[in-house]
Amino acid sequence: MLAARASPRMDGTVMVALKKGKKGSARSLAAVRREAEGCRRCPLWKHATQTVFGAGSSRAPIMLVGEQPGDAEDRAGEPFVGPAGQLLRRALSEAGIDLASVYLTNAVKHFKWTPRGKRRLHERPNHEEVMACRLWLDLEIERVRPTAIVALGATAAGALLGAGVRIGRDRRKKFTSPLAPFVTLTAHPSSILRTPDSAARARALRQLVDDLRHVAAWVHGSKHDAQP
Ligand code: URA
């Protein structure tokens, strides 16, 4: 059984404590990461700098799944280090979730882009590319065994829950899934950054924070449910 533990901290955040996993599971995740470095399962590797594998503890109780690395992530080799990542970190902090409790990854591990002058513009991955990359996501889920998986945006939600889900209608719902005790979805932080009106942007950020607060409460609650 998954044993996520959560406790309030001095700084007001909730440290959702790490599960006691087998030492070997961290090594296995590292092995999967090494394998993914040479991935040629779809053509996206050809124009990307590198595979951007997930980051975080192999015992994190919460896994957040984005769409694909952006320009900054492609260069850095780490997920969510660019503007969307900064907003996500702010939302996590406001929701009281410690970053140490989170494993960050993407549905697709290579940056898909199209040139626009000197810039590399994000291009949405297609169904085949998402499906080709699903192997790595499944292996990450299997190794991390999170209590809660949160799909950020439509691509991740489609990859994890099927094409029928809708962000506006289904956000914050708990889906029954073999992937984890709690699987849910919320808006992608990039969509918040793209919202032109500042009041609407602030509202969208508050909704994201609220959704994440619910996830923290589920994970916290599941620990208490599991107590003898
Ligand atoms: N957007 C994503 O979906 N993932 C990242 O890693 C960065 C931006």
Q: Where are the domains of the chain?
A: 29-225
- 163-192 burial, b for 16+ CB within 10 Å, e for fewer? eebebeebbeeebeeebbbbbbbbbbbbbb
**If pLDDT is split at 50, 70 and 90, which confidence band does 12 have?**
very low
Ligand 1 atom closest to the Cα of residue 104 is 6
H-helix segments, 145-188: 154-161, 167-170
- Angle, to 10 degrees, between the axis of helix 23-37 and the axis of helix 127-144? 160
pLDDT at 223: 74
Closest by alpha carbon to 36, among 135, 149, 175?
A: 135
* 105 Cβ closer than 6 Å to some ligand 1 atom: no
How close is the Cα of 79 to the center of ligand 1, in Å? 6
How close is the Cα of 166 to the center of ligand 1, in Å? 19
Yes or no: domain 29-225 corresponds to CATH 3.40.50.880: no
pLDDT at 99: 97
Pocket test of ligand 1: the residue of 50, 63, 64, 67 to mutate, having most ligand atoms within 8 Å of its CB, is 67
How close is the Cα of 93 to the center of ligand 1, in Å? 18
pLDDT at 8: 39
**Chain segment 165-218, per-residue pLDDT in tens:** 999 999 999 999 999 999 999 999 999 999 999 999 999 999 999 999 999 999
